Amino acid sequence: MTFSNSLELLAFHQTAYTIYAAIIISVVAWFGYNLTRTDAKSVVRIPFYAYMAFLVAGGVGHHIFTYNAIPWVSQDITRDSITPDASYEFEVKNHKWIGLPEQITVQCGQTIKFDIKSHDLVYGFGLFRQDGTLVTQMQINPGTDVNGILDSNDMLWTFNHNGVFDMTSTEYSGPAQYSEDGKEDLMLVKNFVKVVGCKDGGAK
Q: What's the confidence (pLDDT) of residue 68?
A: 67
Q: What's the confidence (pLDDT) of residue 46?
A: 55
Strand ranges for 9-146 from DSSP E: 86-93, 96-98, 104-107, 111-118, 123-128, 134-140
Contact 195, 135 (CB under 8 A): no
Provide CB contacts within 8 A for 169, sequence distance 6+. Answer: 92, 95, 123, 124, 125, 126, 140, 177, 187
Residue 43, pLDDT above cutoff 60: no
pLDDT in tens, 80-95: 899 999 999 999 999 9
Q: What's the confidence (pLDDT) of residue 14?
A: 87
Residues of the chain with pLDDT > 90, as a percent, come to 52
Average pLDDT rounded to a whole number, residues 119-129:
96
Q: What's the confidence (pLDDT) of residue 103?
A: 92
HSE toward the beta carbon, residue 97, CA cutoff 13 A: 20
Q: What's the confidence (pLDDT) of residue 58?
A: 83
Residue 38, pLDDT above cutoff 80: no
Q: What's the confidence (pLDDT) of residue 2?
A: 67
Residue 123 bridge partners (DSSP): 140
Domains of the chain, residue spans: 6-69, 82-196
Tell me what the pLDDT averaged over the chain comes to.
86
Higher pLDDT, 46 or 153: 153
Domain covering 82-196, topology: Immunoglobulin-like (2.60.40)
Residue 64, pLDDT above cutoff 90: no
Higher pLDDT, 64 or 91: 91
Rounded CA-CA distance 66/46 in Å is 30
The helix (run of H) or strand (run of E) holding residue 193 is strand 189-196
pLDDT in tens, 151-180: 999 999 999 899 999 999 999 999 999 999
Strand ranges for 53-122 from DSSP E: 86-93, 96-98, 104-107, 111-118
Residue 74, pLDDT above cutoff 80: no
Average pLDDT rounded to a whole number, residues 16-20:
87
Q: Give the highest mean pLDDT range of 29-38, 59-68, 179-188.
A: 179-188
- Going by their DSSP bridges, the two strands 153-158 and 111-118 should be labelled as antiparallel
